[in-house]
Amino acid sequence: MTLLSVQDLHVTFGTADGAVRAVQGVSFDVEPGETVAIVGESGSGKSVTANSLLRLNFGADVRIDGRILLEGRDILAMDETQIRSVRGREVAMIFQDPLTALNPFYTVGHQIAEAFAIHHPGTPKRELRKIALESLNKVGIPEPSKRIDQYPHEFSGGMRQRIVIAIALVNSPKLLIADEPTTALDVTVQAQILELIAQMQAEHGSAVILITHDLGVVAEITERVMVMYAGRVVESASVADTFLTPTHPYTRGLLKSVKSLDAGRHERLESIPGIPPSLINLPSGCPFHPRCAYAESLGGRCETETPALHLVGSSRSACHLPDERLLGLLGGGV
């Protein structure tokens, strides 16, 4: 059975400047144990999508439409009690900045134990402590019996992210949402954290949704990639297809703007011209058309008609270009 099925998700924030349409018609499935990456720039809607999966858009004036089915149950239709039993138990989250994600007023042991206790009321204190200790041990915190009574500020960034992971995994969730888990960390620590996530995933059998803007991270641990732009999914494909035969001009741009080791010495990095659009005032038609080098070749179609995701080869792409041009994007010039 499909673990998570997101169908036609729309997320709109009310602000003083007008409605921010952060996510528009996003649909995707996640199978049990699978790793899916959502890639995009800041403001592409990837984090909003992630937060909507658990309805974490706390305090904001937000409207979420569509369906988010977790094993067939619609998260958006759940009452407070039901969604609470999903949060942290069935679906857990890892946040971007481990320096701010932990509560500075409680010991790390307390915070791990709390995550377990919420969903297992009545667990004796001694048992909770044992669980916290085991969790710390599992995520590779040295001297856990000493560290368990320390506060977050006594740990380094990488160690804190390990603790956040320990909190997320203490209930063996079916789905782990990792929202830019390595962005705030040192490069040397990034690899360790990714490895830890992969290792924990194997151990618990959890599916992982990895939100990132780092294509290197994607290549490392995911199986499937969704590329988001201005609140829409513009391409959805396997990792291999994404890197070898991207089927959307935006994905091509992303790949071309990363330096690879086998690139020639004098090969210049390309960049995508322009800036991401304002989510309050989106371009008509395809949201990428003002920055797209191919839009002109299609006449005015890109300005008037929003392309739908459709099968191109083994990928799914939201672009008006004919299939054969899409499949040859990397090879040919503009």
Partner 1 sequence: MIFFVLRRSIFGILLLLIISAFTFWIFSALPSDPAALTCGKNCRPEVIEANRERLGYDKPLIEQYGSYMKGIFTGRTYGEEGAAVHCPAPSLGYSYDRHECVTSLIASTLPVTASIALGAFVLWMAIGVGLGTLAALKRGKWQDRVATAFSVIGVSLPTFFLGLIFIMVFVIWTGILPFPRYVGLTDNPFEWFMALILPWLVLAIISAATYVRMTRNGILEVMNEEFVRLGLAKGLPRRRLIVRYVLRAALVPIVTIAGLDFAFLLGGALVTESIFNMPGLGKLTLAAVVNSDLPILVATTMVAAVFIVVANTVVDILYGYLDPRVRVK
| 278 makes contact with partner 1 (CB under 8 A) | no
CA pair distance 82, 269, nearest whole angstrom: 49
Q: In sequence order, what E strands does 31-180 have?
A: 35-39, 62-70, 73-74, 91-94, 175-179
Q: 276 — phi, psi (to 5°)?
A: -60, 145
Residues between 39 and 58 that touch partner 1 (CB under 8 A): 51, 54, 56, 58
| 9 makes contact with partner 1 (CB under 8 A) | no
Closest by Cα among 147, 157, 165 to 185: 157
Residue 167 or 225 having the CB closest to partner 1: 167
Residues facing residue 317 across a β-bridge: 235, 310
Question: What's the closest the beta carbon of residue 101 comes to partner 1, in angstroms?
Answer: 5
Question: What's the closest the beta carbon of residue 278 comes to partner 1, in angstroms?
Answer: 22
Q: Is 324 left (phi over 0), alpha (psi -120 to 50) or beta?
A: alpha
Residue 91 or 309 having the CB closest to partner 1: 91
CA pair distance 188, 126, nearest whole angstrom: 36
Could you give the strand order of the β-sheet that contains 207-212, starting from the edge strand earlier in sequence?
A: 91-94, 175-179, 207-212, 35-39, 224-229, 232-238, 315-317, 310-312
Question: What's the closest the beta carbon of residue 153 comes to partner 1, in angstroms?
Answer: 5
Question: What's the closest the beta carbon of residue 104 comes to partner 1, in angstroms?
Answer: 6
| 28 makes contact with partner 1 (CB under 8 A) | no
| 87 makes contact with partner 1 (CB under 8 A) | yes
| 92 makes contact with partner 1 (CB under 8 A) | yes
Tally the residues of the chain. 334
Which of 62, 76, 78, 118 binds partner 1 (CB under 8 A)? It is: 118
CA pair distance 176, 9, nearest whole angstrom: 19
Is the Cα dihedral 173, 183, 245, 26 positive or negative?
positive
Residue 50 or 295 having the CB closest to partner 1: 50
Q: Which stretch binds partner 1 (CB under 8 A): 3-11, 78-86, 204-212, 249-257?
A: 78-86
Closest by Cα among 313, 331, 314, 234 to 322: 313
Binding mask 149-168 for partner 1 (x = CB under 8 A): --x-x----------x--x-
Question: What's the closest the beta carbon of residue 58 comes to partner 1, in angstroms?
Answer: 6
Residue 49 or 317 having the CB closest to partner 1: 49
| 172 makes contact with partner 1 (CB under 8 A) | no
| 104 makes contact with partner 1 (CB under 8 A) | yes
Closest by Cα among 165, 114, 168 to 141: 165
Question: What's the closest the beta carbon of residue 80 comes to partner 1, in angstroms?
Answer: 7
Residues that bind partner 1 (CB under 8 A): 51, 54, 56, 58-59, 80, 84-89, 92-93, 95-97, 100-105, 114-115, 118-119, 151, 153, 164, 167
